[in-house]
Amino acid sequence: MLVEGPVELRLPDGSTVTSDRFVVAVCACRRSKRFPFCDTSHRKKVRG
């Protein structure tokens, strides 16, 4: 999900993270290793 920045996000544990970028990619699938920011992990195919 793309959001206009800067943003401050509150995590479930109560901590906050900030980004001062003009556009911020926020992870909606929770697969990101950089959660809550997107690292495009949702694009990877899972082989089974």
pLDDT band at 3 (very low <50, low <70, confident <90, very high): very high
What does residue 38 show for φ and ψ, rounded to 5 degrees? -75, 140
CA distance 23 to 14: 23
pLDDT digits (tens, 9 = 90+) for 5-34: 999 999 989 999 999 999 999 998 888 998
Look at the pTM and tell me if it is higher than 0.75. Answer: no
Which parts of the chain are beta strand (E)?
A: 2-4, 7-10, 16-19, 23-25
**C-alpha 18: how far from its chain's center?**
11
